[in-house]
Amino acid sequence: MTYLEKPADVKETWHLVDAEGKTLGRLAARVAGILRGKHRPTFTPNVDLGDHVVIVNAEKIRVTGNKANDKVYYRHSGYPGGIHATKFKDMQAKHPTRALEKAVKGMLPKGPLGYAMVKKLKVYAGATHPHTAQQPKVLEL
């Protein structure tokens, strides 16, 4: 019989990831899997089994090729002609954590389950973070 994990049985742990020198997409895919709970042998798709992930040094993340100039993020105000485009290098300069947050959020399921998973992601531009009390385990990716 298939074992299905129950939300009350989940023991959440905290992981610390250093993003310095890592590639944006590869790091985002690994972090999304941890937030989703796919690293557990008891993975259940309809239960939030994911762990908390703290990412530091997000300002030092890199992209390959010419994506720093070519990768564009779009947002729309809702008004006619209200589309705004931002290049990756400009977004990294102004909001160093946002590109990584958007990449991970796009890899998670949409709906209430995915929204709960993305709340477990904490991204910081520098090397310090306020989550030392949770004793996060260093995760090498």
Provide the token pair at 127.
Answer: 């090397």
Helices then strands, counting H and E runs in the chain, come out as: 5, 6
- Which parts of the chain sit beneath pLDDT 50? none
- Within a domain: residue 2? no
- Within a domain: residue 81? no
| CA pair distance 52, 71, nearest whole angstrom | 28
Q: Which of 138, 133, 128, 101 is nearest to 117 (CA)?
A: 101
- Within a domain: residue 83? no
Domain span at residue 18 reads: 12-63+92-138
Query: What is the pLDDT, as a whole number, of residue 70?
Result: 97
Other Cβ atoms within 10 Å of 25 Cβ, number: 13
Any idea what DSSP says for residue 14?
E
Number of domains in the chain: 1
Query: What is the pLDDT, as a whole number, of residue 3?
Result: 87
- Within a domain: residue 68? no
| CA pair distance 45, 29, nearest whole angstrom | 17
* Mean pLDDT taken over the chain: 96
| pTM of this structure | 0.93
- Within a domain: residue 73? no
- Within a domain: residue 6? no
| CA pair distance 113, 22, nearest whole angstrom | 27
Amino acid at 90: D
Residue carrying structure tokens 């809702």:
78
Half-sphere exposure of 65 (CA within 13 A, CB side): 5
Query: What is the pLDDT, as a whole number, of residue 141?
Result: 86
- CATH label of the domain that carries residue 33: 3.90.1180.10
- Within a domain: residue 69? no
- Within a domain: residue 107? yes
Amino acid at 91: M
Query: What is the pLDDT, as a whole number, of residue 132?
Result: 96
